[in-house]
Structure 1
Amino acid sequence: MRRWKVTSIPIGVAALALASTCAAAPAQLRRPNILLILTDDAGIDQIRTFGYGGRTAPPTPSIDAIANAGLRFRNAWTMPACSTARGVLYTGRYPFRTNLYAALGPSDLANSMISPWEMTLPKLMKKGGYTSGLFGKFHIGLQGNNPFKLAMPGALGWDYFSGWLDETGDPSSIDTTAGGVGAPDQYPWGYVPGSRNGGADRGACYAGDGSCQLLSAPYASKNPPGRVCRDGGGIFTPGRSCQLRTPPKINFGILSAHYVSPLVINRGVSVEQPLITNRRARTYRNVEATDAAIRWIKQQQAAGGPWMATVSTATVHTPMQAPPVPRLPANSVDTNGLDPDNPASQIIIANQMIEEMDADIGRLLVETGLARRSPSGSLIYEPEATDTVVVYVNDNGSLGSQVRLPFDGSRAKGTPYQTGVWTQLVVAGPLVSQPGRAVTAMVNIADLYQLFGEIAGIDVRKVVPRTLDSRPMLPYLRNPAQAPIRTSNFTLVGPNIQANGAMNGPCQFASSCSQIPVTKSVCEDNGGVWFGQRATGTYPVSGGTPIPANGFTYCCQVQIWLHDNGYTPTKINPETGMAIRNRIGYKLVRNSLKDYSSASNSCLDTTTDELYVVNEAEPVPLLDREDRLIPTPYTPVQQRNHDALSKELDALLGSQPSCPGDGNIDGVVNLQDVHDYGVMVHLSRGKSSWYDFNEDGLTNPADLAIIQKNYGKVCRK
């Protein structure tokens, strides 16, 4: 049976990708390898080792071991959304320089995806002789509007990629038919449960290759046969015996969140796609990404050259799905009968996902020889005895419904407040002097770009021809007495670029409305009600008022509809939110949105500045909660801090010059742009690309005219 599909991008396009990548550096003194562990939505409140979340946070012994043997950066900021954070990490540049402002969705143009002309992290590391691999989540480009399609990772410089290039960038919705054997919504967790939860304790498990196995389990089993079958990549028919042929109702083509995913393997210009019946495409995402990373790292260890591996997990991104039972502690909660609509159930599942993620981190370290197990099974990690720097960081704050006290669930993922951007960051390895200590100085996820370059012996600012926002981190590793380097920190989230000024539709939650969810399914997977195009159903969901099928453009329009239909309008999450803070803890938050005016029942364009004082006190930090907003008029000290932060913010935002016609971001509009425009027209077939200057979703003569109009313009600053 054919299990793989292999494709490649055209030779001319390969040349384009290689043109923006530098050849490997000549052999030098052996540099340490780098293992970057990048988690998803597991905010600082989810991980006990930083002192927050209390006993409600699940145990994470592997992460604890890394933190205890390395440096805890206690004052690290990231960006409020996953794609945005990854874009900053992989380029060392803030979102207003790359136009990647929010989590990418299928309507976003290539203009908001990381450009192949950026000096991405793998390209930078290539200059130091490093081979790079990325495993798991990508989400800095989407195949729908990206000219490179499934070859995106290779075009951005990774030597090897094994993971998911989902149409929305994140896991699909859960298949509640469990492979077509049930009615829609019959099996909300994606598998047939045991008989005590409406399923069966016996049945036939069909594999993608057509084979079948009869499975059964005791009535009270925590791991019923339907779950065993799903976790092994099969589809379970309850109460049936194996047939010579796979029953026609079984459908291996239905995706299902963290368990059935369109796996992609990209080596440079070649693309391999396991068929959806392949076991690897039907393995729990964290397990598959870890397996792939282990195989690749072992190959690099045998080859002997320096390597950089990024393991980008999907934990704990929605939709929540419990990991395979054998991957969990023996005393883990039985989740088979949980109500998926109960927030407490979602927390239980999230806890188990974090526990499994932590176990895979330990497995990754042990199987690559970076750690070992004690006789009792605990992880023994002695980084000074290895040749590898290990970095653990999370992409953004926790999802609001998952936030643990004392953090603020109303100001979480997707917002520039502390709960949305303050993240855990740990660095361990042979370069760390006096491990086990904490660094309280401000750092940003952008700074990892410079750290990795400096580990590779690269003069980053000399090599990168564009403005960088990263600051040095290596001095903190080497010098326990290092004074703070950053004088301020910054974060930003906003709408990505869509054709002709469009934007994501409104998603109404119980207490707020947001335009961050990129599609109807993503909105609903996060517990919201979709009010965008092709809206269906009612509000509230049960027995409410029918939602107009054409939907609305803005959240404020939804609030008008709620008012007119007798419902109470809610607050609106900002369309654009940014923040800047200084060393003494003053933080300025600037939000812009079309707000709802209850007085006039209308929409008003609104921009507000909010001033707070924050800190990282353990276990109860000062957060930028609504009740801690510093009121005006400010005291003289408050006014001075406000004015200084506001001036710095304006200067920072104004530091990126506009340069129409410069598609290859080299700071000048010239003949090279005419050439590269032609390459993009060919590659994109006239659709979305980085040469779509008028942002209409097309790369065509109208864009060439913009190059010609600005020919000779120099935009470097």
Structure 2
Amino acid sequence: MLKNRLCSLPLAGLIALALAGCDGGGSHHESDPAPSPPQASNILFMIMDDVGIDQMAAFGYGGATPPKLPNIGAVANAGLRFHNTWSMPECSPGRASFFVGRYPFRTNIYQAIGPNDLANSQVSPYDVTVPKLLKRAGYENGMFGKFHLAGPENNEAENMTPRVLGWDYFYGWIGGLPGSIDTTAGGIAAESTYSCGFVPGKHAGGTDSGACYQADNSCREITRTALSQDAAGLQCLSSGGIFVPDETCGTPPSNLNFNRENGYYVSPLVIIDGDHLEQVPLSDPRSRQYRTTTEADAAIEWIKSRSGAKPWMATVSFSAAHTPWQQPPGSLVDGPEDFASDGWSCQATATGRQLQNQMTEAMDKEFGRILVETGLASRAPDGSLIYDPNASNTVIVIVGDNGTLGSAVKLPFVGSQAKGTAYQTGVWDPLIVAGPQVVQPGRQVDHMVNAVDLYQFFGEIAGLDVHKEVPRTVDSVALLPYLSNPEQSSLRNINFTMGGVNYQANGGRNAPCVINTTCTQIPTSKGVCEDNQGVYWGPGYTDASVIPNDGEGYKMCADVNRALYNAGRDMVDIMPETSIAVRNDQYKLVRNTTQNFDPTTQGRKTDVVDELYEINQAVPVPLLDTPDRNLLVNNPDANTLAIYDELRATMDRMLASEPACPGDGNRDGVVNAQDLENWRKIAQNWGLSSVYDFFVNGMLDGLTNHVDETIVQNNLNTTCPPSYGVY
């Protein structure tokens, strides 16, 4: 393997790393990029959050009430629909797959990155990310919206992680997830008063008039005169204000709180332009707008400001339709609707499908606005999108990051096997590609594709061979041949997906969250648990249904079941701690590992279960991997067992394809003086979590110290066992 150039890693050094190309040992310097290929295409990359293929009428699904997505549909009709695409079960591993082209067992990003997850489970500053790769072909790179790849916690770069990972410009949210809904609506009421974060209309128990205050103490009075308008409280919230019901403008009340997040409407915005970082206060008007609109506005402004001298890649990483589900402004959907008028609640499971539909529809509308305002499309007299992929030199890529959240899944897909699992509903995602490279647009490609393949595709568009450019094992295979050749045969023999547990200090875990009758440790905090209609059982629990244990909380779902069992209550189902799947063209193997409670020993037990299914992509009712179709039950025949053995061997070979190499923090394939120098810089200037914090007795301590130096010294001049790809 090629060796990395020597780099230092305090914050200034981390930024220099992104600019100078200390990215894992590539042969090009970012400060001296290779010439752009002739007519290099721009790339508009749109990521949808928690929008699985089950939502998509463009792919033949969506159930009885699919979200209306005319703009995405227009692009799909003018491009290719990849109908057999897998991502990962959760957002951070799915997004890491897009941007580094490697599976979770290589990145150690197994689930959504939370505030307690160490740098070892974040994208490494040494990774050759897509923006670093494309700089070698002269590209400018901007990202807008949700980041969720690294930081800000447990990372030396903190809020500068997008810059360190190669983006020239970033406008959005580093941690990614929208904050919880502010049920006080800005401090005007007690907690839990307003489940949607705003005062509803009069017919729904609220009011139709009041004073709308802004953070600068300006005020305007709002009166709702027709049900076709948004509730006055929502009008005020959408403008960035706090609504005081049934009052006129005057002296602002003392209880107004402009420093609290409120779902999609008040968010901690971060702007990075080159080496300049701005953390925008929550009271700033830029932080007080519906997220989907903010994301679209920022992308439009950046794209329009490009000079045309260089190709660009704009990643519009929409937050929608991730929880907390919150009503979008009426201008972004078919018509305003006060959910509370029907007795709905933004925190009620029963409304998930309706709210997600409206949030997804709002995203589609803003996506269409991006296309029109940047000149990539226009509007017909009837308002429909006119998109000609040959009218610009821009490739458009649209993808979902993982499957849909269970309570919003559309039939015939299965809510209990959705996001967070390796079942089809959890990992089967829409992928649309359009642009001048597409021959015979409107086609559907049924061959297997993986999220990691987008990494290679972005390189292909830029004229780069990623397997030559990147000195690590890349799991991508080509996508470009499918665009140019309608008869292209499958380039993948297998597909793979994996979810699990991120690394936390001293073996820590996200606390248990019970949603309905299932316990999960996916939610990264109490707020995220409750945003997903769950009951939090961790430290600081407050729900009356939690069995008290002096406030200590419970570490594992198995411990929740122990408490329930000993209290004589029904135990809950437990979501697998690790969920892995591999498939060929016809069959799929799922392996679930669950930490459960054993009533006999009163301890924890580990259950590993393999399941085998025949699956397909039929429309409108595909063969899914539902429990009643497990081929390994009821005395499987010899042919079934042979299929199982083959897929099991493939899975085991893949999981073994990235051998450990203690001391090789930059993963350049050798432990050498460079690792010592990198360790020294981090230990002196940071000392906390980094990729130079190594395992001791099977755990990480979240520190970069002399214990880790000893590991480097003990392995000095070691050449790492080779890793390899399995396609």
TM-score (norm. length: structure 2): 0.94
Alpha-carbon offset, residue 679 of structure 1: 2.3
Do the aligned partners of 1:222 and 1:334 also contact (CA within 8 Å) in 2? Answer: no
Change beyond 3 A, Cα 1:646–1:231: same
Q: Is the 8 A contact 2:209 2:232 kept in 1?
A: yes
CA distance in 1, matches of 2:144, 2:555: 36
**Could you report, residue by residue, the CA deviation over 1:15-58 in whole angstroms, capped at 9, with x for unpaired residues?**
23334253222243121111111000011111211111233112
Distance 1:219 1:49 in 2: 35
**Structure-1 residue corresponding to 2:45:** 36
Counterparts of residues 176-215 of structure 1 (less than 5 Å): 176-215=183-222
**Whole-angstrom distance in 1 between the partners of 2:650 and 2:223:** 65
Q: Note if 1:334 corresponds to 2:334.
A: no
Q: Which residue of 2 aligns with 1:238?
A: 245
Matches within 5 A, 1:645-664: 645-664=647-666
Unaligned runs of 5+ in 2: 1-8, 24-28, 723-727
**2:507 aligned with 1:505, yes or no?**
no
Aligned match of 1:494: 500
Distance of aligned partners of 1:518 and 1:589 in 2 relative to their CA distance in 1, 3 Å threshold: same
Q: 2: CA distance between counterparts of 1:643 and 1:85?
A: 27
| Residue type at the aligned position of 2:89 | P
Instruction: Work out the CA distance in 2 between the residues paired with 1:250 and 1:530.
Output: 29
Asked if residue 418 in structure 1 is aligned to residue 418 in structure 2, the reply is no
8 A contact 1:9–1:151 mirrored in 2: no
CA 629–27 in structure 1, closer or farther in 2 if over 3 Å, else same: closer
Distance 1:547 1:361, change over 3 A: farther
| Map of 2:604 onto structure 1 | 603
Match of 1:122 in 2: 131
Match for residue 573 of structure 2?
571
Aligned counterpart, 1:17: 18
CA 1:716 to 1:35, structure 2 compared with 1: closer, same or farther past 3 Å?
Answer: farther
Distance (Å, rounded) in 2 between the aligned partners of 1:279 and 1:652: 49
8 A Cα contact 1:40 1:82, kept in partner: yes
Gap runs ≥5 in structure 1: 1-7
Alignment of 1:172-571 (within 5 A): 172-218=179-225, 220=227, 222-243=229-250, 245-300=251-306, 302-330=307-335, 333-337=337-341, 338-539=344-545, 546=548, 549-571=551-573
Choose from 707, 714, 718 the match for 1:702: 707
CA contact (8 A) 1:151 1:270 kept: no
Cα distance in 1, alignment partners of residues 647 and 674 from structure 2: 39
The alpha carbon displacement at 1:546 in A equals 4.4
Q: What secondary structure does 2:256 align onto?
A: coil
Change (3 A) 1:528 1:595: same
Q: Structure 2 CA distance, aligned partners of 1:220 and 1:32?
A: 46
**Partner Cα separation in structure 1 for residue 640 and residue 340 of structure 2:** 53
**3-state DSSP of counterpart to 1:229:** helix
- Measure how far apart 1:697 and its partner are: 0.8
SS in 2 for 1:303: coil
Q: 2:143 is aligned with what amino acid?
A: L
The Cα of 1:222 is off from its aligned counterpart by 4.0
One-letter amino acid of the structure 2 residue matched with residue 699 of structure 1:
T
Counterpart of 1:67 in structure 2 is 76
- Corresponding residue of 1:4: none
Aligned length: 699
Match of 1:3 in 2: none
DSSP-derived class of the 1:420 partner: helix
How far off its partner does 1:632 sit?
5.1
Q: How far 1:506 sits from its partner (Å)?
A: 1.1
Question: Could you tell which deviates more after superposition, 115-124 or 333-342?
Answer: 333-342
Distance 1:142 1:219, change over 3 A: same
Provide the residue aligned with 1:141 in structure 2.
150
Q: What per-residue deviation string (whole Å, max 9, x for no partner) do you get for residues 318-351 of structure 1?
A: 1100111122213x54324323454332322111
Letter in 1 for 2:414: D
* CA apart distance, 1:370: 0.8
Do the aligned partners of 2:195 and 2:347 also contact (CA within 8 Å) in 1?
A: no
Partner of 2:4: none
Alignment of 1:682-693 (within 5 A): 682-683=684-685, 685-693=686-694
Is 480-489 or 508-517 further displaced after alignment? 508-517
Counting only pairs closer than 5 Å after superposition, residues 603-622 of structure 1 correspond to structure 2 as 603-622=604-623
Moved more, 410-419 or 515-524: 515-524
| Partner Cα distance (1:656, 1:11) in 2 | 31
Residue of structure 1 aligned with 2:644, choices 642, 655, 662: 642
Question: How many angstroms apart in 2 are the aligned matches of 1:401 and 1:150?
Answer: 32
8 Å Cα contact 1:9/1:269 also seen in 2: no
| 8 Å contact kept, 2:300–2:370 | yes
Cα distance between partner residues in 1 of 2:388 and 2:599: 60
Bigger mean CA offset, 177-186 vs 197-206? 197-206
CA RMSD of aligned residues (A): 1.7
Question: How far has the Cα of 1:497 moved from its partner?
Answer: 0.3
* Cα distance in 1, alignment partners of residues 721 and 178 from structure 2: 39
3-state SS in 2 of match to 1:56: coil
Q: Secondary structure at the match of 1:54?
A: coil
Cα distance in 1 for residues equivalent to 2:582 and 2:11: 44
Q: Is the 8 A contact 2:325 2:347 kept in 1?
A: no
Q: Is the 8 A contact 1:178 1:187 kept in 2?
A: yes
Instruction: Verify: 1:161 aligned to 2:170, yes or no.
Output: yes
- Compute the displacement of 1:456 (Å): 0.4
Q: Distance in 1 between matches of 2:165 and 2:711?
A: 26
Does the residue aligned with 1:591 lie in a helix, a strand or coil? strand
CA deviation vs aligned residue, 1:55-102 (integer Å, no higher than 9, x gap): 311211011101111111111000000001011111000001111110
Hey, what's the Cα distance between the residues in 1 that align with 2:45 and 2:12?
31
Letter in 1 for 2:648: S
Read off the aligned partner of 1:615 and give its amino acid letter: N
Which of these residues, 100, 108, 111, is aligned with residue 99 of structure 1?
Answer: 108
Summarize the Cα distance change of 1:318–1:455 in structure 2 as closer, same or farther, 3 Å threshold: same
State the partner residue of 1:712: 717
Question: Which deviations, in whole Å up to 9, do the C-alpha atoms of 1:285-337 show, x marking residues without a partner?
Answer: 1100000000111112x33311011101111111100111122213x543243
CA distance in structure 2 between the aligned counterparts of 1:78 and 1:10, rounded to whole angstroms: 32
Deviation at 1:246, TM superposition (A): 2.9
Match of 1:5 in 2: none
Q: Is the 8 A contact 1:201 1:219 kept in 2?
A: no
